[in-house]
Structure 1
Amino acid sequence: MSDRETHTHPLVTVSGAGSIGESVLAGLLGSGYPAARLRATVRTAEHAGHLARSYAVEVTTDNVRAACGADVLVLAVRPDQAEAVLAETVPQLASGAAVVSLVAGLPLDRIAPAAATRVHAFRVATNAVSIDRSGLLAVTPGRDVPEPVRDTVTGVLRRLGRVVAITEPQQDTAASTLGSGAAFLALTATGIDRAATEAGVSPAVARAFAADALESAAAMLRSSDPGSAAAWDGLATPGGITEAGLGRLLAAGAVDAMADAVRAAVTRAAELALPTSP
């Protein structure tokens, strides 16, 4: 492999090709990334065989083998597995490689000790659905990451979606909104689903109503001024049906409940960041 090809397509290992890890793999391949420059790990041989057949990439249960010589390690394992996987994989990476952690609650200073000076750490907040639709990835690099390494990681991530830079103190909030927020909103949308089915709409059409309402809400938010009044005001005709429904939601404390859900997730992310007892 020439230096030029390595720079254009760094060798990427996805450690933990579960829901979000598989989305990373599929997203990179869908962007035209060469399969020969991708590897992945999973927990079972059966799952490894399934992914290898589905994506025509090297998939193994051996973390050490998969990490050997990799330029970018995408860490997508459970929080309680992360540091053990880092201890196995970091010594096998190419010198100057990047560790890109998608693990909620894992701070840079707990990636860095395992990484020492051989590799460079990054934190990314996103979710599998966001990657599947080329959505947002909120990125925080570690200290003193050289510009070429930043460029390499940014180049890989831009194949998956839109990259925004945030500070590390903002990572837990990003994981709890950008990451978990989709689940919170999907939960609230089940109210639309239920009301429609109770009115005799078929379950499939009711689910489509809820999904379309969420997509319309996303479009409204993207086009609204963040410093202006509530984004929904434009749809609420005085005395109309939307105003009636919004009044019921506000009276029930819907906004406060959603904010509380985010705060609970942020608190849990902070708990995950605490060192585990020996």
Structure 2
Amino acid sequence: MSQTSCILTDDRTPFTDDRVPLVAVLGAGHIGGTVVARLLAGGHPPSRLRATTRSRAHAAEIAAAYGIATGEDNAEAASGADILVLAVRPDQADAVLAQALRVAEPARYVVSFVAGFSLARLTSAAGPTPVHAFRVATNVAALEKSGVLAVSTAPSSPAESLEHVTAALRPLGTFVPLPESQQDTAASTLGSGAAFLALAAAGVREAASAAGVAPEHALLFTVEALECAAALLRQAGPASAEPWASLVTPGGLTAAGIDSLMSHGVSDHMAEAVRAAVDRARVVTPTPAEAT
């Protein structure tokens, strides 16, 4: 079995289900730190997990909290690693990859959580070191509950590489493959969409509080409403234009609220928020040609 068709451990032996990959999380901030926590919670051995941070103090906190090797040196963390998880800010990604891949073996797996960082940009940043590159869209809340991750694979990576890397990172959640052309939209719906909905839900909570409902109850009612909305969407399926219809009685209180929302173009405003996020994703990081 060749290096390009399987993940390799640092002793150069192909691993299977009983051979745990060595994972280096480059950037243990909000996303990276959650990746560390979920992998460990899913049974990944601490001895097969490393992390880097920008400060010695933060590295000490991560090491103390999780019992894994943690430091500021990306090259040291990447040495011998099978999978590099890139979870830094877009303006840091080039430098971090350059440091890490100075010592990384060819055909390492690089999984990027960096917003707007294209696969072309990722492979370009890797320079002469061949890598199997993956781009992932999600958010911290989804990772915390092992939710959904949208993943795209670089054209140069073999088809089976996606299966290998998602199996190794299974504790993070459910990976949904999609073309990279849809990544910015995935990041703006799956990733940012939770924030948009939480902002809208804040109005529900505020209305309850203004009417005298205790703050903790107002929050409870709002969270329950959001969870019920998710259930309605799942039951209605992807083709339904009106997932709320089952709760609406003509002339009733829900109908009055829906009419008010429609009169203010709430759906249009939410769609515009997604489009704004997509536009931003496209300019967060320049393409390789723009960076030269």
Structure 2 counterpart SS, 1:231:
coil
Counterpart among 6, 26, 37 of residue 37 in structure 2: 26
Q: Which residue of 1 aligns with 2:139?
A: 127
What residue is the counterpart of 1:211 in the other structure?
A: 223
Supply the distance in 1 between the matched residues of 2:73 and 2:260 (Cα, whole angstroms): 54
In the other structure, the counterpart of 2:120 is 109
**What TM-score results when the alignment is normalised by the length of structure 2?**
0.90
Farther off after superposition, 244-253 or 202-211: 202-211
Q: Cα distance, 1:150 vs. partner?
A: 2.2
Of the three residues 166, 178, 194, the one matched with 2:178 is: 166
In 1: Cα distance, 2:170 partner to 2:251 partner: 45
Matches within 5 A, 1:34-49: 34-49=45-60
2:163 to 144, 151, 166: 151
**Alignment partner for residue 247 of structure 2, among 235, 238, 241?**
235
Letter in structure 1 aligned against 2:13: D
Indicate if the aligned counterparts of 1:90 and 1:114 stay in contact, CA closer than 8 A: no
What is the CA distance between 1:148 and its match in structure 2? Answer: 4.6
State yes or no: 1:63 paired with 2:86.
Answer: no
1:273 shift after superposition:
3.6
Q: What is the one-letter code of the residue matched to 1:261?
A: A
1:198: which partner in 2? 210
Q: Hey, what's the Cα distance between the residues in 1 that align with 2:71 and 2:40?
A: 18
AA matched with 1:169: S
Deviates more, 1:144-153 or 1:163-172: 144-153
CA contact (8 A) 1:17 1:42 kept: yes
Percent identity between the two aligned chains: 51
Question: Does the 8 A contact of 1:99 with 1:121 survive in 2?
Answer: yes
CA distance in 1, matches of 2:105, 2:49: 14
Partner Cα separation in structure 2 for residue 44 and residue 14 of structure 1: 15
**Match 2:83 to one of 72, 81, 89:** 72
Alpha-carbon distance in 2 for matches of 1:189, 1:242: 15
> Quick one: structure 1 residues 277 and 150, their matched pair in 2 at CA, closer, same or farther if it must change by over 3 Å?
closer
**Counterparts of 1:26 and 1:194 in 2: how far apart (Å)?**
33
Runs (4+) of structure 1 exceeding 6 A deviation are: none
Contact 1:10 1:37 in 2 (8 A): yes
Q: Counterpart of 1:189?
A: 201
Q: Kindly provide the amino acid, as one letter, of the partner of residue 34 in structure 1.
A: P
2:188 counterpart of 1:176: yes
Preserved CA contact (<8 Å) 2:91 2:285: no
| Amino acid of the structure 1 residue aligned with 2:201 | A
1:206 Cα shift? 1.2
Q: Which residue of 2 aligns with 1:255?
A: 267
SS in 2 for 1:159: helix
2:4 — aligned with what? none
Cα shift at 1:147:
4.1
AA aligned opposite 1:121: A
| 1:52 counterpart residue number | 63
State the Cα RMSD in Å: 1.7
Distance in 2 separating the partners of 1:182 and 1:35: 31
Paired letter, 1:3: T
Q: Is the 8 A contact 1:12 1:72 kept in 2?
A: yes
SS at match of 1:223: helix
Q: How is 1:135-146 mapped onto 2 (pairs within 5 angstroms)? A: 135-146=147-158
Deviation at 1:117, TM superposition (A): 4.7
What's the CA shift for 1:80?
0.8
What residue identity is the alignment partner of 2:178? I
- Tell me which amino acid in the other structure corresponds to 2:230: A
Q: What is the deviation of 1:135?
A: 0.9
